[in-house]
Amino acid sequence: MYLPDGTNGTEISYLDGTKDYIPKRLCWVLDDLLFHLRSSTGILTRQSRTMLGKNARRVPLVLKKEFSLVPVKGRQKIGEYDTATGYIVLHHAEKIIHTDGRTQVQFTGGTSVQVYDNPRTLADKIRTAENLLTQMDVEDKTS
């Protein structure tokens, strides 16, 4: 989200429909969250890129089955270098709805959020996250 002064901020939407607005970039919020969970975006990104076998830019962050983050375009870009990345929690995404040229993700509990990915791209990202989760589960069982 953009703050009133034009800088970047982060919006966190909850299943009950409430929202928190944090006056920090998403990368800062993720780093803080992952520090709390004793992990690192750098480690997760490297793991995802290794598992995907390519140098992907926006990769799923798979922490555990109940908390896997799928990257989405969270807002319209206003600048050339604006990544406009957001994340949805895979475990809570129920359905992708595409009507009137808009894509929405519907979550458990009935809430939804508009994203700016086309439905096919979003479905591919969700499949990628599910595949990563499966690969991680297999690796955990063989360790």
pTM over 0.85: no
Sequence spans of domains, the chain: 10-142
Q: Tens-digit pLDDT profile for the chain (143 aa)?
A: 566 676 678 888 888 888 888 888 787 777 777 776 666 666 666 666 666 666 555 677 777 778 888 888 877 766 666 666 788 889 999 999 988 888 999 998 888 888 988 889 899 889 888 888 887 765 555 55
CB distance 112 to 106 below 8 Å: yes
- As to burial, measured by CB atoms within 10 angstroms (0-12 exposed, 13-18 middle, 19+ buried), residue 50 is exposed
CB distance 115 to 72 below 8 Å: yes
- Reduce the DSSP state of residue 116 to 3 states and report it: coil
| Model pLDDT, residue 49 | 66
| Model pLDDT, residue 68 | 87
| Model pLDDT, residue 33 | 74
| Model pLDDT, residue 64 | 75
- As to burial, measured by CB atoms within 10 angstroms (0-12 exposed, 13-18 middle, 19+ buried), residue 61 is buried
- Reduce the DSSP state of residue 21 to 3 states and report it: strand
DSSP letters along 28-61, please? HHHHHHHHHTT--HHHHHHHHHHHHTS--SS--E
| Model pLDDT, residue 65 | 75
| Model pLDDT, residue 45 | 67
